[in-house]
Amino acid sequence: MSVRQTWVVREGGAACAWFDLRLAFADGAWIDALAVLSDGGVRVDEVRAEPALSLDDLAALGEWLEGPLYEACVSGAANAGPDTARRARVAWPRGTEGRRLVAREYRAARQEGDDPVLAVMRATGQSRRRSLRLIGEARDEGFLAPRHARRETGAPPAL
């Protein structure tokens, strides 16, 4: 099972954390889920499974995920320290090195068939708008291919 925290929303004293979960079984079956952990417990927002889950399995899914989610939260809090508990963004290098890392995350997500902008958002902890700006800066420095082919200005081609 793999558990990856994707978002944390804090309001007042309460916090909700979204997690991507992947359960892979030896027979090739798998379950992908988006779960929310809050003071009220575990809520499953989205589930994809192959083969499809029965209603009984779907009802028990929250209980299956609760233990691994708890372990991910406890180990993450123990490794994070008090300083990062207040700060949602990860430390990300600035300048050329940061743009190089943005390009690496972008290309890796494209190769895996994932959303590259979302991958950059997760890696940097930045908003979608800021992540798009970082991707554009990486393109401008030549770390990523241009988005659209540029047209040459000048006289139209002769017919």
Highest mean pLDDT among 11-25, 87-101, 129-143 belongs to 129-143
Neighbouring CB atoms inside 10 A of 19's CB total 22
**Within 13 A of 145's CA, how many CA atoms are on the CB side?**
5
Q: Where are the domains of the chain?
A: 2-86, 95-140
Mean pLDDT of 98-127: 88
How many whole angstroms separate alpha carbon 34 and alpha carbon 19?
6
Confidence of residue 114 (pLDDT cuts 50, 70, 90): confident
The secondary structure of 17-59 as a DSSP string is EEEEEEEE-TTS-EEEEEEEEETTEEEEEEEEEESPPPHHHHH
Query: For the chain, where are the alpha helices, taking DSSP H only?
Result: 55-86, 95-112, 116-124, 128-140
Confidence of residue 134 (pLDDT cuts 50, 70, 90): very high
Neighbouring CB atoms inside 10 A of 6's CB total 12
User: What rounded mean pLDDT belongs to the chain?
Assistant: 77
Q: Which residues pair with 36 in a beta bridge?
A: 18, 43
- pLDDT tens for 70-111 read 666 655 544 444 433 334 445 677 888 889 999 999 999 999
Angle at alpha carbon of residue 108, lines to 22 and 151, rounded to 5°: 140
- pLDDT tens for 47-78 read 898 888 888 887 777 677 766 666 666 555 44
How many whole angstroms separate alpha carbon 12 and alpha carbon 15?
8
Kindly list the distances between the CA atom of residue 37 and the CA atoms of 6, 84, 102, in Å, as whole numbers in the listed order: 12, 19, 28
